[in-house]
Structure formats: structure tokens, C-alpha cells
Structure 1
Amino acid sequence: MKWPLFLFLFVVIGVHAQESNFTFTYEMATHCKEHICQRGYSYDTYYSVDAEDRKNYNSDGVTFEMHIAIQAGSNGHILLSSVAYPDHNDPVYEIVVGGGGNKFTELRRNLKRNAKASSVTVGILSAVELRGFYIRLKDNLIEFSREGATAPIIKYYDVSPLDIKFFSFAAWNGVEAKFLYDCPRPGEGSNETRHSKEIKRRLSDSEQLKEDLLKYRSPNMAPGPNVSVSVHVNITGLKYNAFESKLTTGISLITFWIDENLAWEPSKFNNVSSVSYRQGQIWRPMFQVYNADNLDALKTIGHELIWVYPDGYAIFHSKATIDSWCFTETTIYNSWPHDSYSCSIVIQPWEAHETIFLSRLTYDMLRLAFIYQDDLVENEWEVTKITQFIVPAVKWYRMYPRSKVNTTHHGDRLVLNLDFQRKPTNYNIVFYTPLLVLVTFVLMSFWNKPLQMSRVWFYAGATILICIGLCYIEYMMPCHTIPTILVLYITVLGGILLAMLLQVIMMTSVTERLCKTTVMQNLLSAYWFRAVFCLPVIKICRNYNTINEGYSTQDDEDYCEIDQGKSNVEEMQTEANKYCEKEEFAEVVDKIMFVVYSVTFAIMLGLHY
């Protein structure tokens, strides 16, 4: 049973050794042709397969064979088709080598879709060395593999194979790839050569114009030593992290400048009114954020085009995300979740050797830049005020002399002042509803029958609930300040603990001894005291000097009359002993606490808002 396992390991190790031993040398590269991809995922150059080469393929059922080498960090794309410049509906073979960050290889039956076979190939490409591969179509089976390998990386049996007449190469956006094609089979040297030819695509008027303007021109060359750039910023989204004091802002950056080297006469190019360039084809102003959390240039999101008009007027409308520091707290307390902030973002030129003078855009320029296409991302933050102004370099260095690190760099700065606040609707529901309900029940408990253990258990349960909530509330509140809503919760918690303590004390014998004192007896029997706290009136009974004087046959309750002003008082007693001194004292304390708690909470809630 062990021999099959040993045999399998021997085959795997042998195949791996054979693959790793093959090296694409410089001598082999001299017999190949070169194609460099610098325009991202775009098949812009096609090559035709020579007719004689196609005849030589027809041996042993091989209808197409191609040996290539790739040098790229990832995403080497190979396109095989029957027609030049196919569209998405034309059948093609597209092979993606090192896709997904150099992790897989895939064969597609249509352009950019319809995958038929794939394989995990981590590290199949290299950015520093050439890797050799071959493609073979034999007996309806198309294979792609490394040079010198015994087993293909991917293969696909096609019942309706293509008659391959053209091929092209592409990379990925931001990836520069070098392809060597028309390479001979390994070991045959220059004896076997291919004769593929580049297919010239018929250019439109605008494409011909761009080709003429970009000929012998460096894409990184500025229009001049001093460039005047008009700029405007739209805020498309905003989010503030109070824990880290970091502001994340989505912006739409609109820049205008004049490049006379890109101007043309429309009548000479069939009245072409505008042309568009991809980023990297021509110069554009690069910026960075002075108070950002990194030192990188301001990177755009997407692949927006640069539009140029006949007079050399260039427009670039791009979107970017800025992460900047913003700490605006002046006190240790804030009104979270009703907090508001004011932050600044400073945008400055990126290149130190370029002197850029900034200015604000006019209304007509903004209309030309398609400003209405900017959509605002809605979240919990709302921008209330935006202020933009230009700070000249002279004034900037005067305010911040330490930032003058290069005497040749005198670029202006664009300053954005943002006033924004949090939308507290959801927070109000989550935090204030439990607080109001809890306070309401606490105030209602003061009107319940005093000296009951049920009230003590209620206070204990409310205390536990608040403590549990405070344990989790720190994950949502800023930690470098104290939100006043937290003060509200702590105050309510302290009030509940105080009410529970007083309730327990009044249930002990201490309160009884206190109520028996002369001072408390006089206070509890005082008319004004009982009227203020709405206590039931005390009935008094007269002491007659003669027998049967004032005798009446009425019930016992008619003997006692309400007469607080008489001087001949013998004893005081409550009606049927319903109210004793201890209960009346507890009732007075409850009413006092109700008033104090209500006023205190109302004042604190008003100050919070």
C-alpha cells in the first residue's frame, strides 16, 4: 500500500524539479520580439500570425503553438482570436496568467468573461525575471503551461476550436508587463523563427490627433516652470472617528490648467472639439494633504480621463478619499451624540520642483466640469458649512517657517474649513428612550406605598441595568472627552442608589426613634407642614368636664371633629391608626425626592441639549 504513495511523491517531486530547473536566459530572449504593456487592461496592439508559420504548425494535429516569456508582478493577459480587435461578443481565447495578485491562472472563452478552466498558481510570475510559457492547440485541446513542464497548468477541450490568426497582450491597471513573443522552441535557437506582424489599427480623427500631440513628448513634463491651476473641491462624503480624532473625507477635485503644447487647430483635424487622455499620458497637477495621516500623494479613485480642448485648456475631474487628523475639542465635556466639529484640510502641490499657483474656479468652469455628477454619500454626519480659500506660498511660510524645506518650492495651498455635526436620530432612540423610561419609573416609585421591599428590589434591578449598559457604552462614545449624556446616566444611577439607601434606612428602627423625638412630633403635627406635603389632617377629641356633657349617640368617628385651633387638646390620634409617624415621615421624604429629582433631571437634560 505504500508503493503507490511513494510513486506519487516521486512523480510530483520530479515534475517540480523539472519546472524549477528551466530558466529563460538572455540568449533565448535575443531570438524573441518584445511587447511592453503600460496602458492597463487594454488590448491596443494586435499581431497577425504568419500564414507560413500556421502551415508549419500542422504536424501531429497541432494547429497552433506559441512560445512566450512574461515579466510582470501579476496579471499577464494573452488574447488569441480569429479577427483583429474583437468585441465582447466575438469568440476568443483569453488567458489570464497570475490573476488576483499573482494567485491564479484562468482560460476564458470570451473577452473578460466566460471562464472555462482555472488553476491556483501562486507566484507564477515575477517582476524581476522572465518566465517562459507555451500555448498549444492540438486536436481541439488547448493547453497553457510552463516551458519544460510535463503537465499543463490549464487545459480545455473545445468542441468548436478557433482558427487563431491574431494575438495581443495586456496587463492590469497600475501593472507594467513585458512580453516576449515569437520565441523559438527551447533548444532550437534561431533556426525556428516566427514572422508575426503588428496590425495597424485605423485611427479616428481624435486618436490621430492624440498620436501627433504625444509624439516625442514626455508624459511627466509640466507645461512650464510656473503653472497656474484653478481648483475647486466638492465634499462627497464625510466620516469622523472621535476615538482617533481622524477625519475621512470623500472629495471631488476639479482642476483646470492651460498646456499650449497640447493645443491644435480644429480645422486641420476634421473639427475635433475635444480629446481625452488617460492618467499618465500627459502631465497633470499632483497634490497631497498637508495634515494627512500619511505622506503619499493624493490618489484618485477610478480611472477618470483628462479632457483637453483646442486652446490647450485641460480639465481633470477626479474623486479621492482623504484621511486627515482633526482634533477640535476645547473642553473635557461634549454634547455627544449632538456633537459638532470644525476641521481644516490643507491641500498642497506634491512635486517639490513644480511651482503651482492656485486660484478659485468660476461658475462657468464648474458647469464645464460636470459638477452635477458628484453624488453625496449619506451617513450619520452632515456638513453644515464649507469654506475654501487660497493661501499664497509667501503667507504660508510666514505662518509656518519650519515647513519651508525647499527654497525652490513656492506652491500655493488650498485650505478647506469644514463644519459638520452628527445626525443624532438613531442615537436619540437608543440612548434617550431607556433613560426617559427609567427616570419615569423612578419618579413614579415615589408615589407608591412607602416602606416596601418591592421598591428596594426595583431600585436594585435598575442599578444593575444601568451598570450593564455603562460597561458596553464605552465602545460608542469618544474616550478623550466626557459626553454629557454619560453624566446624565451616572447622575440617575447615583440618584437611584441614594433612593435605595434612604428606603432601607427608613425601614429600620432608627427612623422610628427619630420620629418619636419632640422636634419630629411637633413638625409632623404642624398644620403648615401637613398642608405643604398634603398629609391627612389630624382629628382631635375634646375632654368634657361634666358627665354626659355633649353626649351624642353618633358613631365614634363623629366624636372627633376637625378643630386645629382649640386649646383644650388632650391627645392626638390618626384616623383608625391609618397613618403613623414613620409612614408619614417616609411619605414626606418621597415627595421631597420626587421634586428634587424632577428638577435636577430637567435642568441637566436642558443643559445637555
Structure 2
Amino acid sequence: MSISVQRAAASELAIHDKIFKDYQKNVRPVKDPNTITTVKVGFYYILILGVNAAQESVQFSMDFSQSWTDEYLKWDPAEFNGTQTIRVPELLVWMPDIVMTESLSMSLLLPEEKRKAKIDYDGTVSLWSPAVVSHNCDMEIDNFPYDIQTCIIWFAPWAYPTTQVLPVIELPPSGEYDDLQGNSEWEIISFLPHERYSNSSDGNTYKELNFALTIKRNYVYYIAVLVIPTFVITTLCLLGIFSPFNNKADREEKVIKEYCEGGRIQGL
């Protein structure tokens, strides 16, 4: 191991010991309780895995991010050989309770003990959560197979009102979501973010983020997989019914032959 690598490792360990001394991960990381913790929520990619029209659900793989400022996880890089970033187990830091409120199921691709949080010297904490999600989606299939469906993906804090935690949408640098992938049956038309405020019965105001995932059915898939094979099979069946029953006798229709044989059996 080179000397520079050893110094970097020693610096990260020293930073870890300093910022996590007396750190309380169960308390919102602000020194003034009136300070609002702004949480940026973003998406890196979405991949459609399947759509179940009968259950009105869509399954997709995604990677979404969250970032916020933790006022207790700061240091001066000059004191630690210029180290500006460290990575620690996610379980060590305070995390906002932002959840997908209408998901049917969510399976994280990495177990909790293996996920890492990135911490910058200015206290910025960043998390990335790759997951497979099954989400509720109201569907109208009157125009099948030319239908277009819009699924609303909701994110919201579970317990914190806007006076404590304020989620905001973080757009990609390009301003648009580019890494959107459909499958052979569906293609993604758009992925548009929106924000909404709602009042609860306890008198607090909560902010919700929603992402409108609009997908379009690939009708060519149904023509190639369903319509054409069905037409070919039906045509072959009709040809088989009215084709000669042998290659020597006169041409007779099988339907007539079977009808006549049935009549003789019944004494007609």
C-alpha cells in the first residue's frame, strides 16, 4: 500500500472519529430547531419490467437519490490532508423518512447493512437506493392495443411536516430525465415531476412529490406476437377442414364427409 493511500485512509478514519463522536442519528441534524431540512429527491434511471392490467400495477427498476445537509457532519479539509469526501454505512447517519406512499411492494437491491452514504465536508449527505418497485397504476384499456397509461409515483415524508423537512425535486443536469427504458411491450413517453401541499387532521402541512410516468403500449408487439400468429393458425385450420382427406379419392369436404358418416351411423 502506497504512502498516499495510507494517508488517505488515516484521514478518513480521523474524520470519522471526529464527526461521529457524540453523534445522535435519531435526532434531526440541525442546531436550531427552527431550521428546515431540505431534502432533494431525484431519479437516475427507470426500467419498465412489466405491466399487469388486471391488477392495475406496474413493476419497474429504478435508482433514486436523496441528499440533505447534516449540520453535525462537517469538517475542514485542510485539517485532514485535503480529504473532502468520505463514505460510511448508511445506518450511521440520520435519514429523512421519505417513502413511496402508494407502492405495493419495494425490494432494495442492496441489503441495508451494505448501503453507503456519501458525506461531503460541508455536511451534504447523499444516498442512492437502487430498487425494484411494484406500484399502483389506474388503467384505462378501452383503446387496447393503442392505449396510453399514466402512473403517478408519490413520495412524501411519513412524519415530518414542512416546518421540519421540505422535500424538493432535483432534476438531472440536462433538465430532463434521459435514462428511461421500456421493454418489448411498453415504451416510456415521459416522466414529469410535480409538487403538492396537503393539510392533515393534526393541523400540519405536508409536501408531496409525484412523478407522472406515462407509458405507451407497443401495438407492433401485439400484431407480431398475437394478431399475425392467430391469423395464420386460423387460416391453416380452415384450409385443413376443407382440404382432401386423402390424395387418391375425389376432393370432398371433411365437414360433409363427417356429417354423412354421422348420418349413416344414426341410420339416416
Task: Provide the TM-score with structure 2 as the length reference.
Answer: 0.72
Matches within 5 A, 1:81-230: 204-224=10-30, 225=33, 226-230=36-40
> Which residue in 1 is equivalent to 2:195?
390
Deviates more, 1:348-357 or 1:231-240: 348-357
Q: Which has the higher contact order (CA 8 A, sep 6+)?
A: 2
> Which residue in 1 is equivalent to 2:133?
322
Q: In 2, are the aligned partners of 1:235 and 1:249 still within 8 Å (CA)? A: no
Return the index of the structure with the highest Cα Rg.
Answer: 1
SS of corresponding position for 2:231: helix
Structure with the bigger percentage of helix: 1
> Which residue in 2 is equivalent to 1:104?
none
Q: In 2, are the aligned partners of 1:286 and 1:349 still within 8 Å (CA)? A: yes
Structure with the bigger percentage of strand: 2
SS of corresponding position for 1:293: strand
Q: Distance in 2 between matches of 1:362 and 1:326?
A: 23
Deviation of 1:339 (Å): 3.9
> Which residue in 2 is equivalent to 1:340?
148
Matches within 5 A, 1:424-435: 424=219, 427-435=222-230
Percent of residue pairs bearing the same amino acid type: 19
Q: Distance in 2 between matches of 1:210 and 1:313?
A: 15
> Which residue in 2 is equivalent to 1:15?
none
Q: Distance in 2 between matches of 1:359 and 1:253?
A: 13
Q: Distance in 2 between matches of 1:334 and 1:365?
A: 34
> Which residue in 1 is equivalent to 2:158?
350
Equivalent pairs counted in the alignment come to 234
Letter in 2 for 1:347: F
RMSD: 3.7
- Deviations for 1:69-102, whole angstroms, at most 9, x for unmatched residues? xxxxxxxxxxxxxxxxxxxxxxxxxxxxxxxxxx
Deviation of 1:244 (Å): 1.0
Cα 1:284–1:412 change in 2 (3 A) is: same
Deviation of 1:227 (Å): 0.9
| Structure 2, gaps ≥5 residues long | 1-8, 244-250, 259-268
Q: In 1, are the aligned partners of 2:41 and 2:64 still within 8 Å (CA)? A: yes
Q: Distance in 2 between matches of 1:215 and 1:357?
A: 27
Q: In 1, are the aligned partners of 2:156 and 2:167 still within 8 Å (CA)? A: no
SS of corresponding position for 1:430: helix
- Whether 1:283 and 2:101 are equivalent positions in the alignment is no
> Which residue in 2 is equivalent to 1:186?
none
- Deviations for 1:54-82, whole angstroms, at most 9, x for unmatched residues? xxxxxxxxxxxxxxxxxxxxxxxxxxxxx
Cα 1:301–1:442 change in 2 (3 A) is: closer
Cα 1:245–1:440 change in 2 (3 A) is: same
Q: Distance in 1 between matches of 2:185 and 2:45?
A: 15
Cα 1:457–1:322 change in 2 (3 A) is: farther
Cα 1:438–1:455 change in 2 (3 A) is: farther
Q: In 2, are the aligned partners of 1:352 and 1:406 still within 8 Å (CA)? A: no
Q: In 1, are the aligned partners of 2:161 and 2:206 still within 8 Å (CA)? A: no
- Whether 1:246 and 2:42 are equivalent positions in the alignment is no
Cα 1:381–1:365 change in 2 (3 A) is: closer
Task: Provide the TM-score with structure 1 as the length reference.
Answer: 0.34
Cα 1:363–1:353 change in 2 (3 A) is: closer
Q: In 1, are the aligned partners of 2:152 and 2:212 still within 8 Å (CA)? A: yes
Q: In 2, are the aligned partners of 1:383 and 1:420 still within 8 Å (CA)? A: yes
Deviation of 1:321 (Å): 2.7
> Which residue in 2 is equivalent to 1:454?
253
Letter in 1 for 2:203: T
